[in-house]
Every structure is written in C-alpha cells, then in structure tokens.
Amino acid sequence: EVHLVESGGGLVPPGGSLSLSCAASGFSLSNFWMTWIRQAPGKGLEWVANMNQDGSERYYADSVKGRFTISRDNAKNSVFLQMNSLRVEDTAVYYCARHSGNFDYWGQGTSVSVSS
Amino acid sequence: EIVLTQSPGTLSLSPGERATLSCRASQSVGGSFLAWYQQKSGQAPRLLIYSASSRATGIPDRFSGSGSGTDFTLTISRLEPEDFAVYYCQQYGGSPRTFGQGTKVEIK
C-alpha cells in the first residue's frame, strides 16, 4: 500500500528557513515524479514544485522560485523541500504527492506557519 | 497558464440527490488531462477521476466525469452522507499544473 508521510513543519519567523521531508513507502520512488502542493488556511490547492525521477528536471511555481528547492534521495525513499526566505503568505499545509500527471497519492500534510 | 474556473462555488443538496459540478478551462486542456479530487475537512485530497472520465482505484461508480476541450463535469449520481465535501478539478495538460478554486457540496 502506498504511503506518504510528511514532517518538518512548524512555526518560523518571516525570513526564516524550514526543511520539509516526505517519506515514501509501498512503491518504488525512483519510478515517479514527485510534487509538493500547499493549501493556505481556508483556501484552495496550489502546486509548489515538482521533480522527475532522477532529479534532473525541477519546476517551481513563480511564487516560490528562487526561495524553495525540491530534492530527493531515492535510496532513502524520501523527498524534500527546503524553504528559505519564508514569507507570511507561505503559511499553509504542505502536501507531498506522487505525480503521475495527476496526483494519485497524497500524504496527510505538514503545517507551516510563518509569523513574527 | 491554464486557469480553471469551477461552478457553482457552493452546492446545497440533500442525500440521494444528484450533484453536477462544472470546471471550465481558460484554454483547451490537451489530451483531456483533467482530474477531480475530493477533500473532506481536515483531510488530504483524494483522487476521484483522471483523464476526465476514468475513475481512480476504489472510487464508487456513483462518481462519473465527462467533458473535453474546455468544459468538464463531475457528476455524483446519488449523494451519500460521506460525499459532502469540497471538490477540486486539476489540469495536467499544460504547465504549470493548476487547480480550480473548488466547489463545496453541503447538506441542504
């Protein structure tokens, strides 16, 4: 059974940094693109970043480009999101999802709050 | 960027009724690469429909999707109590992947 478990969320001041992790199980991570999607409180879903199987292709939403970095370690079945220069508007639940064009499996999310 | 507009914003219906949700794209979605997700309060979204009309694994057949080009529809034939939730469409025919703003199906 496919499982994705995010961790690393928390409270951080504006301008701070946070690193999120997503542990994958039940499938071979090296066969799939992976994605981070976020949802601000009471709002809809926003695609943040994705990465192909070997990490040679990475794409970012304009809202996070230059501040966030997606990475992966297939040997450790993990995907990461390094978030720098955080802004209040980055406050959201961050979901890791398996990317098959659509997003067929999602983690439960980890909450990031950017506030002074 | 393909902008997806969902309507209505909120749908108030009773259990057993039929729900029809619309998703309109600002430009044609290549390959009918459109998905629908259900999100219940406090939970992660769940894939319901992909490629406009194919049900994901384990999704009951009361959920169906249709459409092509710029107009897509999610239909729930008879609402069950567990179907009251927010539904999002998402396109993957172009980059970046984009979502609609959601339709809330609430109990009347």
What does the pLDDT look like over A43-101, one tens digit per residue?
Answer: 999 999 999 999 999 999 999 999 999 999 999 999 999 999 999 999 999 999 999 88
Region B32-44: what's the mean pLDDT?
Answer: 96
Interchain CB contact of A46 with B (< 8 Å): yes
Strands B71-76 and B19-25: antiparallel
* Chain A (84-113) residues lying within 8 Å, Cβ to Cβ, of chain B: 95, 101-109
DSSP per position, B31-100: GG-EEEEEE-TTS--EEEEETTTEEPTT--TTEEEEEETTEEEEEESS--GGG-SEEEEEE-SSSS-EE-
Residue B50 and residue A59: Cβ atoms within 8 Å?
A: no
Evaluate if residue B39 carries a pLDDT over 90. Answer: yes
User: Minimal Cα distance from B92: which residue of A?
Assistant: A101
- Nearest-Cα residue of chain A relative to residue B99: A45
- For residue A75, the SS3 value is helix
A2 near B CB under 8 A: no
Phi and psi at residue B29, to the nearest 5° = -90, 110
**What pLDDT score does B78 carry?**
97
Among B44, B88, B100, beta carbon nearest to A109: B44
